[in-house]
Amino acid sequence: MAFSIRLLPITICGPDGQRLGEIRIEDFTERFAVHPITGSVDDVAATWPIALERLLAGASAVGLATASNMGWIFYRFGNAILVHQILFVPGWGGELDAMGNVTRVPPYQCVSDDGSRISEWSTGAEAIRAFLTA
């Protein structure tokens, strides 16, 4: 199993010059914009391993914000980890603190309110542990 999430070098930018991050979950790889919430984009990325450590320590779900309106939610079911990308809009079901940390994660669901399947990617706790200790 393979997993990683990282802030890309400053020389790799999005179309509008924004910093980019990259997540890899098994065969899935996506680049995404990272915007400062408070402080810098480096501060945003520094919160990601902390949240993943909480997940491995027993939290059933954690969120990794990538901007004040977007993030990745990790749901743990035993050793299985399911990941959703989520837009933080009013009524999203979670909560951010003033520093931009996800302090409450919405309950897991695999079907949206309109009946559409929610995109999700799966990995294992071992893959996240390997990433954090590499």
Confidence check: pLDDT of 1 > 80:
no
Of the candidate CATH numbers 3.40.50.300, 3.30.2450.20, 3.30.590.20, 1.10.238.10, the domain formed by 3-133 belongs to 3.30.2450.20
3-state class (DSSP) for residue 52: helix
Q: What's this model's pTM, rounded to 2 decimal places?
A: 0.94
Measured at the alpha carbon of residue 116, what is the angle toward residues 34 and 87, in degrees to the nearest 5?
Answer: 20
Give me the mean pLDDT over the 62-71 stretch.
94
The length of the chain in residues reads: 134
3-state class (DSSP) for residue 19: strand
What pLDDT digit, counting tens, does each position of 84-131 carry? Answer: 999 888 888 888 888 888 999 999 999 988 999 999 999 999 999 999
Alpha-carbon span 111 to 123, nearest angstrom:
19
3-state class (DSSP) for residue 118: coil
Cα 115–chain centre separation: 23
pLDDT of residue 13: 94
Domain boundaries, the chain: 3-133
Mean pLDDT, all residues of the chain: 94
Name the nearest CA neighbour of 52 among 63, 41, 38, 37: 63
Contact assessment for residue 84 and residue 118, using Cβ atoms and an 8 Å cutoff: yes
pLDDT of residue 92: 87
Residue 112, CB-side half-sphere exposure with 13 Å CA sphere: 11
